[in-house]
């Protein structure tokens, strides 16, 4: 009697992938709830429907993974031969995952369109690359559905390779473009720069994290083709796409709060300027304007506010007009 195959790289990987991805799915559901209850008041109907579609596809992906696990562990419990074969739900989840990736990348392409001053070629390039990875995901689904066995996965090698490379290029292009256009908008105002730095951090955390998981998935696909270890990282990657889109929408109010908090910023020059009028100019001012009390003007220019102080001058000071610029 032959010993059963090792299940760590098959059912074990599926179990871990489902648990981790479902945890992130719960976070996405919370983000969607917060979006509709607190953060969508300024959005149009199109964006609200877009978020609903995203959550719908994300829920469908979770359901397909649950069906897959039920198929292997309950319907065909103890049938180790079935563990070497594909099932329709496991094949279909690749296409749904490709759609979720494309929806998120389209969203960031639209943001780059507005951020770059209505520049067309960059968002179009991102959308085309994203459509390539979606098409490769659909082709992988077709190959898996027709061949039924994991040992035939070499037939899907070109589609998997092209799809993962397209994902890496697309996410890297989004991250680099966001950083370029945000840093290009830096000003002399410290508070504005803090907001821009915060947006750059969000862009890095979102796009680079998905890029890292795509690279890891790519590595495990090539090194462990006869297992489903790569699926752990792929399913987490899909959840990161949908979660990052909704969390980006929800962080807009936080960024606005940072920008509006504190005093108003008038100058971005860290210096102090003191202007002391002379007695002659003070007397001319008294004669022409009727001033009874000449004053000095001290302007403290900081990063976030401007303070103006006055002090009474003695009328009997005999000095030339003097301007001090420390």
Structural domains of the chain ordered from first start = 8-260 (1.20.1070), 271-324 (no CATH)
| pLDDT(252) > 70 | yes
Q: Report d(CA 323, CA 277) in Å as an integer.
A: 8
Query: Is residue 128 very low, low, confident or very high in pLDDT (cuts 50, 70, 90)?
Result: very high
Q: Which position has the higher pLDDT, 195 or 25? A: 25
pLDDT of residue 315: 39
Average pLDDT over the chain, rounded to whole?
77
Q: Report d(CA 66, CA 74) in Å as an integer.
A: 11
How many Cβ atoms sit within 10 Å of the Cβ of residue 261? 9
pLDDT over 70 percentage in the chain: 75
How many Cβ atoms sit within 10 Å of the Cβ of residue 112? 19
CB 279 within 8 Å of CB 222: no
| pLDDT(265) > 60 | no
Report angle CA 239, 247, 168 to the nearest 5 degrees: 50
pLDDT of residue 262: 52
Sheet with 295-301: strands ordered across: 306-312, 295-301, 271-276, 322-324
Q: Which position has the higher pLDDT, 248 or 153? A: 248
pLDDT of residue 151: 57
Q: Which of 289, 291, 311 is nearest to 299 (CA)?
A: 311
| pLDDT(281) > 70 | no
Residue 123 structure tokens: 């968002």
pLDDT of residue 131: 95
């Amino acid at each position: 009697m032959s010993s059963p195959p090792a299940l760590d790289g098959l059912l074990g990987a599926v179990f871990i992938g489902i648990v981790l991805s479902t945890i992130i799915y719960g976070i996405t559901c919370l983000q969607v709830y917060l979006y509709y209850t607190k953060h969508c008041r300024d959005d149009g109907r199109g964006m609200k429907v877009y978020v609903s579609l995203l959550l719908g596809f994300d829920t469908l992906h979770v359901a397909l993974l649950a069906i897959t696990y039920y198929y292997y562990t309950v319907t065909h419990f103890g049938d180790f031969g079935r563990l070497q074969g594909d099932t329709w739900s496991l094949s279909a989840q690749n296409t749904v995952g490709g759609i979720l990736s494309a929806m998120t990348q389209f969203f960031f392409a639209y943001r780059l369109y507005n951020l770059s001053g209505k520049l067309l070629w960059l968002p179009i390039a991102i959308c085309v690359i994203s459509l390539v990875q979606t098409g490769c995901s659909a082709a992988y689904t077709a190959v898996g559905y027709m061949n039924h066995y994991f040992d035939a996965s070499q037939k899907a090698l070109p589609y998997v390779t092209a799809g993962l490379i397209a994902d890496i290029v697309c996410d890297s292009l989004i991250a680099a473009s966001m950083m370029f256009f945000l840093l290009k908008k830096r000003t002399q105002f410290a508070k504005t720069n803090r907001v821009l730095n915060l947006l750059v951090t969000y862009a890095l955390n979102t796009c680079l994290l998905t890029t890292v998981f795509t690279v890891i998935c790519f590595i495990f696909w090539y090194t462990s083709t006869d297992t489903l270890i790569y699926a752990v990282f792929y399913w987490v990657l899909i959840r990161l796409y949908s979660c990052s889109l909704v969390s980006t929408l929800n962080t807009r109010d936080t960024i606005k709060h940072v920008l509006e908090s504190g005093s108003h910023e008038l100058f971005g020059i860290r210096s102090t300027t003191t202007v002391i009028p002379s007695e002659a100019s003070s007397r001319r001012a008294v004669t022409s304007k009727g001033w009874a009390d000449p004053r000095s003007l001290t302007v403290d220019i900081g990063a976030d506010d401007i303070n103006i102080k006055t002090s009474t001058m003695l009328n009997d000071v005999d000095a030339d007009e003097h301007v001090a610029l420390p």
